[in-house]
Structure 1
Amino acid sequence: MKTLNIALSAMAMAALAACSSGPPVPDWKMNAQSSIERFEAAYLNGSALVEQTEFQRARAQVGSTGKIDLIARVELLRCATRVASLVFEDCTGFEALRADATPADRAYADYLAGKVQPADIALLPEAQRAVAAASSDTAASTAVATVTDPLSQLVAAGVLLRASRATPALLDTAVSTASDQGWRRPLLAWLGVQRLRAEQAGDQQAAQRIGRRMDIVEKSGKPL
C-alpha cells in the first residue's frame, strides 16, 4: 500500500511505503497523488487542457481537508513545472496562500522566483540546496548536473537561467534531460535558448541545426 507524502520534496509528491497493517489510506490522498502526477506530466508534454483539469482535481481533493498549507504546496508544484519549462510568471496561486504556508514552502516560492535569502537555503528541498548555495555559475551548473530527479534538475536549471546564471554546460544538461524524458514543452524552451545564443554568437550553422530539431519536436505534438 502507498500513501501520499504531501510535502514538497525534490519537486514531487512522493509515495511512501506504508505498513499493510496500518489504517486505510484516505481516498483524497490517493486521488490527489494521481492527479498531481497527471497534471505534471500533461504540462511537461504540452497538454494544457489535461493539465488544467487534473490540477483542479488535485486542488479539490486537497482542499477537502481544509488544510491551506497543503493547497499551497500543490500550487508550488504547478509553479515548479513552469520554471522547469522557462515560463517565468508570478506564482499567484501560492502567493494568495502565502500567509498560511510553512516557512519551507515560502522559501521555496522565493527560490522559484529567484530571490531566496541565504538564511533560507537550508529550508529548500535537498536537491536544490547545493545549486542555491553555489558561489559561481560554473559551480551551480555542476550542482545541477548531479541532481538525479529529472524535474528537480530542470527546476534548478530554470532558476539559474532566470537569474542570468546559465552556462553553456547548463543548457546542454537541461536539453539532454528534457530530451531523455520526452518532455516537449521544456525541451522546446531550452532548445530555444540554445538557438538564441547560437544566433547571438554568429553561429548560424548551429542555430539552423537546433531549429531543425525544434521543428521535429513541435511536429511530434500534433495529431497524425
Structure 2
Amino acid sequence: MKAAHATAWLAGLALLAGCAARAPVPDWQGNAHAALQAAVAATLEGQPRVAEAEMARARDEIARTGRPALLARAELVLCAARVASLDLDGCPRYAALAVDAEAPERAYAAYLYGQVDAVQAALLPAAQQRAAQGAAAAGVDDPLARLVAAAVQLRQGRASAADVEAAVQAASSQGWRRPLLAWLGAQLRGAEGAGDAGEAERIRRRLALVDNRAPTSPERAP
C-alpha cells in the first residue's frame, strides 16, 4: 500500500489529504504532503534517518504558513506510524505544539496515548471511535489503523492474542518491516509466556527472515 493510502485513514487529521485534486495547489502544500507521506513510509520500512530527513522537509514547508495547528496534525500522522510500530514513548514533538492544536487533533493524541474519553472519542474518525470503544483490532479494515488500534489496546493492557495476530497480519501483508518486527516480538513473548516452544520457534524463524538473519539451526555447531 502506498504512503498516500497509509495516511488516508486519519480523515480530518491527515495533512492535506487529497490536496492534489484541487488546483492550483500552493507549493508548500504539495511539498509538505509528499514529504509527510515519505516520512511515514520510511518509518514503517524501518529507515529512521530517511524518515527524519523527510519529516524535516515537511516541517520546513509547513513553517512557511506560520500555523502551528497544521504542524501539530503532521506530527500526529508520523507519531501514529511510530505507535503502529509499538513505539509507545509518546509524541513529544506533537506535545510541544499541543497548546495550538485543534480539538480533533487533541482527541486523536489522547487516543494514541490510550486516554481518550467519551467526549473526545466522538471527534475521532469512525474506525478509531469503534476501537476506542473496545472493538477488536481485527475488525479495522485499514492496515495502519489496525496496527494503531492494536497498539493502543496493548498500551491499555487489553490486547488479546487475536489482536496481536491481526497486527502481525496487517504488517506482514504490507511488508512493513519495523512494525512486523515489533509485533512478532510481542507474539513471541506471548508464546514463551504460554510455554509453547513450537510456536515460539516458528515466530523466531519469521523474525530471523524479516531481520535478514540466518535462522538458528539446532544441528549447527556453535
Same structural fold, with TM-score higher than 0.5 when normalized by the shorter chain: yes
What's the offset of the Cα at 1:73?
0.6
SS of 1:164 mapped into structure 2 = coil
Contact 1:8 1:105 in 2 (8 A): no
SS of 2:18 mapped into structure 1 = strand
Which aligned segments of 4 or more residues in structure 1 are displaced greater than 3 angstroms? 5-8, 10-13, 16-19
CA distance in structure 2 between the partners assigned to 1:165 and 1:218 by the alignment: 28
Matched, 1:15 2:18: yes
Alignment match, 1:81: 81
Q: Supply the RMSD in Å over aligned alpha carbons.
A: 2.0
Matched, 1:151 2:154: no
Contact 1:175 1:190 in 2 (8 A): yes
**Could you state the TM-score of these two structures normalised by the residue count of structure 2?**
0.87
Question: For residues 12 and 99 of structure 1, do their structure 2 counterparts lie closer, same or farther at Cα, with a shift above 3 Å needed?
Answer: closer
CA distance in structure 1 between the partners assigned to 2:34 and 2:206 by the alignment: 32
CA distance in structure 2 between the partners assigned to 1:177 and 1:10 by the alignment: 23
Matched, 1:56 2:56: yes
Determine which structure has the larger strand proportion and give its number.
Answer: 1
Structure 2, gaps ≥5 residues long:
1-6, 214-222
What's the offset of the Cα at 1:107?
1.0
SS of 1:219 mapped into structure 2 = coil
Among 177, 181, 185, the alignment partner of 2:174 is 181
Question: For residues 181 and 77 of structure 1, do their structure 2 counterparts lie closer, same or farther at Cα, with a shift above 3 Å needed?
Answer: same
CA distance in structure 1 between the partners assigned to 2:146 and 2:8 by the alignment: 20
Alignment match, 1:32: 32
Contact 1:6 1:70 in 2 (8 A): no
CA distance in structure 1 between the partners assigned to 2:194 and 2:81 by the alignment: 29
Q: How many residues align structurally?
A: 206
Structure 1, gaps ≥5 residues long:
135-139
SS of 2:159 mapped into structure 1 = coil
**Percent identity among equivalent residues?**
48
**Could you state the TM-score of these two structures normalised by the residue count of structure 1?**
0.86
Matched, 1:97 2:90: no
